[in-house]
């Protein structure tokens, strides 16, 4: 479902962080094609 609003202009967002933890020391790689803001 897409919101009926214009695309985010990118003028105020400075950082997006993904915190993943499973208490194991191992390599992890997150690949994304896009990030979407979803409403509830």
Q: For residue 38, what pLDDT is reported?
A: 65
Contact in structure between 37 and 4 (CB atoms under 8 Å): no
Q: For residue 40, what pLDDT is reported?
A: 57
pTM passes above 0.85: no
Candidates 9, 8, 18; CA nearest to 38 is: 8
Which residue has better confidence, 8 or 21? 21
Q: pLDDT class for 24, splitting at 50, 70, 90?
A: confident
Candidates 30, 6, 27, 3; CA nearest to 16 is: 30
Structural tokens at position 37: 């803001």
pLDDT at residue 29 is higher than 80: yes
- What letter would DSSP give residue 7? P
Structural tokens at position 9: 């202009």
């Amino acid at each position: 479902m897409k919101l009926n609003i214009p695309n985010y202009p990118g003028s105020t967002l400075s950082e997006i962080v993904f915190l993943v933890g499973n208490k194991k020391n191992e390599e992890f790689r997150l690949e994304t094609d896009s990030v979407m803001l979803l409403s509830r």
